[in-house]
Amino acid sequence: MKAILHPARAVTLAFLSVILLGTIVLMLPAAHAGGSGAPPMVAFFTAVSAVCVTGMVTVDTGTYWSTFGQATIMVLFQMGGFGMMTAATLLGLMVNRSPRLRTRLMTQTETRSLGLGDVRSVAKVVLAMTLLCQCVIAALLCLRLRFGHGLDWQEAAWSGLFHAVSAFNNAGFSIHADSLTRYAGDALILVPILLGFLVGGIGFPILHDLRLRLRDPRHWSLHTKLTLAGTLVLLVGGFFGILLFEWDNANTLGPLAVGEKLLNSFFMSAAARTSGFNTVDIAALTQETWALHYFLMFIGGGSASTAGGVKVATVVVLFLLVVAEAKGHSDTEAFGRRVGASAQRQAITVLVIGSVLVVLGTLTLLRLTDFPTDQVIFEVIAAFSTAGLSTGITAQLPVAAQLVLLLLMFFGRVGTITLATSLVMGARRMPYRYPEEHPIVG
């Protein structure tokens, strides 16, 4: 019983439980626009994609599901992004103001809090930022859709709320079959959504750190500095790369005005790592942009955020490790601090496990389908990173291939470290150490 209740296992089981419940609800006739009930595989795929905040779909969310079905999906990706253990901590705070130690440990596992003392503070920041951002974005979108696009108040309010919650949770779900391509020239729609998934994808511990020390960058944690610096480099690099590769593409940025090209390039650069929304046809992108997306999607967003991927801090730590090794330094350093050895090992573990999952997923899908390798790689990385972007082949995949994508989504959302920990017994200190020897490397 103790093994089952290990914090990492509890997090994994919590996600599985919500997925199962969501599948059952989506199979109800009331959730289907036709009133006949969705097939089990369609409901299961949608529930996993929603809870894992991925956004991959096999049916059109706007026409296949009823309003009740769409609301169910929204609740699922709200819970998936918010986190089951964070919700449990907040519930404990409301009931007795002191959540049990086990609940705090599970929340620490899920949110990657820096310590047990941070759990309650981070949980409160999660709740405050979630409600504030989603309400503001929903209001802005509602007003724009009502007065700028002629929707009635009810339709504008529902569309605004759905896309606001989807954006902040980096879920990538849209009630439009073309995602956000119809709004490619509307900055008043794209900017609020962009800000929503940037804030949601930066990581709640960082938001907590900024809330306490916003005006004192010198005292930001090393994690905050590394993540913000890495995010900035990826955003700018992705922006210029997409702009370069798509500037004259008649099927993507080519027909747009200069200002719209700049906006959409930046939107795509950010969305590739986190949200899964698209403002242009992904299938029409150049091969170079697809390759850039592989890189951006695999990295993903900030740790303990609503985004997926191996995380920005992981890649930055590994980069610093390579730099230190190249310089012959024994310590990995940044911003006047040493990066702990355990953090370096975790970064290597996350990258290796993530890479192995992507390779295995790619090989499996190539075996199960006849689609080109580049499209398969795109689909696999998008699933693992929970970015949710697709070249349009998701619905055409056989059931076996879709199940592979579901596993990748789940692994990507729960996290490679959490997943690995849930599969083994708790860590224990060995009472002995073997003699050290240095194999030849490189």
If you average pLDDT over every residue of the chain, what do you get?
85
d(CA 111, CA 127): 13
- Does the pLDDT value for residue 437 go beyond 90? no
Phi and psi for 416 in degrees, rounded to 5?
-65, -40
Cβ neighbours of residue 350 under 8 Å, at least 6 residues apart?
310, 311, 314, 416, 417
The 10s digit of each residue's pLDDT in 372-416 is 999 999 999 999 999 989 999 999 999 999 999 999 999 888 776
71 has pLDDT over 90: yes
Confidence of residue 43 (pLDDT cuts 50, 70, 90): very high
Six token digits for residue 54:
């991925």
Name the band, by pLDDT with cuts 50, 70 and 90, for residue 130: confident
CB neighbours of residue 25 within 10 Å: 18
Residue 94 pLDDT level (bands cut at 50, 70, 90) = very low
| Beta pairing partners, 51 | none
What is the phi/psi pair of residue 197, to 5°? -80, -20
Q: SS3 breakdown of the chain: % helix, strand, coil, rounded to 5?
A: 65, 0, 30
pLDDT in tens, 321-346: 999 989 888 888 888 888 888 888 88
- Look at residue 18 in the predicted model and tell me its pLDDT: 92
Range with top average pLDDT, 74-78, 114-118, 435-439: 74-78
Q: How confident is the model at residue 419 (pLDDT cuts 50, 70, 90)?
A: low
Complete DSSP assignment for 64-94: HB-HHHHHHHHHHHHHHHH-HHHHHHHHHHH
Q: Predicted confidence band at 7 (pLDDT cuts at 50, 70, 90)?
A: low
Residue 398, SS3 per DSSP:
coil
What is the per-residue pLDDT across 220-239, written as a single tens digit (0 to 9) for each? 888 889 999 999 999 999 99
The β-bridge partners of 337 are 334
Confidence label for 2 from pLDDT (cuts 50, 70 and 90): very low
% residues pLDDT > 90 (the chain): 58
Q: What is the pTM of this model?
A: 0.88
Task: Give the residue with greater pLDDT, 161 vs 275.
Answer: 161
- For residue 428, the model assigns a pLDDT of 58
Distance set, CA 409 to CA 51, 176, 413 (Å): 9, 22, 6
Looking at the predicted structure, is the pLDDT value of residue 48 above 80? Answer: yes
- Give the pLDDT confidence score for residue 425 in this predicted structure: 45
The SS3 of residue 326 is: helix
